[in-house]
């Protein structure tokens, strides 16, 4: 972006009180506004009318999927306003056991997302796997519709280059105290094994509960579980049934994202575990938990998938390997400090928000060059 010209006014439609907005919506966009000064203005409004579009130069929508989102897309196009979408999950592959399945699996919702993707001018996603998935879906649908009569207002935009990878990043300015000491030895952690998530991870926890408990008990009696959010009740019950004392099984209610990050720094977990079933939906997920583990000064135990093959992460291939890796971490056979430094150095060089926000600035540059009536 270049100073000295009128600011690009970006309208935003972001899910209210959505934790992903910290990484994908409100957080990075308002930071970008601060960084670019007079080059960009973020415009928020609940009143979506022609008057709103008259005052903006482009529209950003985070994870749109409803009929109302389609209506807003049509209004934007009718008013000559280019549209940028952002997705952080594969909404075409939500598994049946996920509590949100009943919402995203509906045929009308699937059609809404396809319509939105086809008409968008730019689409940013969090992982390469998700990028390829959405590109393939759009290409498949386009081929099916190629011979159909398409109304002018529904003109499709098949451009593989409109899909852009914008990975999640660490806000080094917001967490300045942590980042100042990023490359110094981290304080000694507590013997705490941390998991964080919601009920959408019930099936993931269910699949890994037994190896988790086996490694935990074999490693000794001075470790504590800490489940942040809403862990599956079956996991908690199983751990108790195995004879693990209740004071070694902590459950912390879900926290505001900033409170959560400060909480991680305060409790200093030794390891953050990421138990995930191997399915298409999980393969598209980003490695936010690793970034959070680095912030906390913890080892990250995560799947042996491309998204999680990052410096300093301990990767597991299956349940048995998960058990072995977790046991060796808890037993002190896998050192924390060296792995943590590898991860932090990589993030400092590649995944700071200042760095990644350059990609968002480039997207806005492209939106500014679009002729909506071409």
CATH number for the domain including 116? 3.40.50.2000
Residues 312 and 193 in one domain: yes
- Would residue 2 count as lying in a domain? no
Tally of structural domains, the chain? 2
The answer to whether the CB of 342 falls within 8 A of the CB of 182 is: no
Residues 165 and 39 in one domain: yes
Angle at CA 186, nearest 5°, toward 183 and 188? Answer: 170
Give me the residues of the chain with pLDDT under 70, please: 1-5, 17, 145-158, 177, 374
Residues 275 and 341 in one domain: yes
pLDDT value at residue 121: 95
pLDDT value at residue 166: 98
pLDDT value at residue 178: 73
Residues 142 and 255 in one domain: no
Domain span at residue 264 reads 176-350
- Would residue 1 count as lying in a domain? no
Residues 328 and 362 in one domain: no
pLDDT value at residue 116: 96
Residues 78 and 182 in one domain: no
CA 360 to chain centre: 15
Residues 277 and 340 in one domain: yes
pLDDT value at residue 162: 93
Residue 41 three-state SS: strand
Q: Which residue has the tokens 């130069």?
A: 57
Q: Which residue has the tokens 């930071």?
A: 31
Alpha helices in the chain (DSSP H): 21-24, 26-36, 50-54, 67-78, 101-104, 107-119, 128-145, 176-180, 202-219, 233-241, 257-267, 280-283, 288-296, 319-330, 336-350, 353-369
**Whole-angstrom distance, CA of residue 149 vs CA of residue 151:** 7
Q: Which residue has the tokens 């799947």?
A: 303
pLDDT value at residue 153: 44
The CB-based long-range contact list for 175-183 (8 Å cut-off, 24+ gap) reads 175/261, 175/295, 178/265, 178/295, 179/348, 182/344, 182/348, 183/341, 183/344, 183/345, 183/348
pLDDT value at residue 204: 97
Residues 264 and 184 in one domain: yes
Residues 143 and 187 in one domain: no
**What stretch of H or E contains 227?**
strand 224-229
């Amino acid at each position: 972006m270049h100073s000295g010209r009128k600011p690009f006014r970006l309208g935003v439609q972001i899910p209210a009180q959505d934790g992903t907005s910290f990484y994908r919506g409100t957080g990075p966009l308002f930071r970008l506004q601060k960084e670019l000064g007079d080059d960009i203005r973020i415009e928020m409004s609940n009143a979506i009318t022609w008057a709103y579009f008259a005052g903006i130069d482009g529209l950003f929508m985070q994870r749109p999927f409803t009929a109302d989102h389609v209506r807003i897309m049509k209004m934007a196009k009718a008013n000559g306003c280019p549209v940028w979408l952002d997705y952080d999950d594969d909404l075409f592959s939500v598994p049946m056991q996920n509590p949100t399945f009943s919402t995203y699996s509906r045929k009308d919702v699937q059609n809404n997302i396809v319509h939105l993707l086809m008409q968008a001018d730019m689409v940013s996603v969090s992982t390469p796997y998700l990028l390829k998935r959405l590109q393939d879906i759009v290409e498949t649908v386009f081929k099916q519709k190629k011979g159909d009569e398409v109304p002018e207002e529904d003109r499709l935009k098949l451009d593989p280059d409109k899909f852009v990878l914008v990975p999640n990043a660490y806000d080094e300015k917001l967490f300045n105290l942590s980042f100042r000491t990023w490359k110094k030895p981290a304080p000694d952690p507590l013997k705490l094994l941390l998991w964080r998530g919601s009920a959408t991870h019930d099936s993931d926890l269910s699949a890994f509960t037994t190896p988790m408990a086996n490694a935990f008990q074999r490693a000794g009696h001075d470790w504590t579980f800490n489940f942040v959010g809403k862990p599956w009740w079956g996991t908690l019950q199983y751990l108790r049934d195995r004879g693990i004392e209740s004071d070694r099984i902590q459950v912390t209610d879900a926290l505001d994202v900033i409170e959560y990050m400060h909480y991680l720094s305060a409790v200093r977990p030794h390891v953050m575990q990421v138990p995930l079933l191997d399915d298409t939906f999980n393969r598209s997920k980003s490695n936010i938990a690793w970034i959070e583990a680095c912030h906390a000064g913890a080892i990250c135990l995560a799947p042996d998938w491309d998204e999680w093959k990052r410096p300093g992460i301990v990767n597991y291939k299956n349940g048995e390997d998960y058990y072995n890796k977790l046991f060796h971490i808890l037993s002190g056979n896998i050192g924390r400090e060296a792995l943590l430094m590898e991860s932090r150095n990589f993030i400092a060089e590649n995944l700071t928000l200042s760095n990644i926000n350059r990609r968002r600035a480039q997207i806005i540059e492209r939106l500014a060059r679009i002729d909506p009536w071409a």
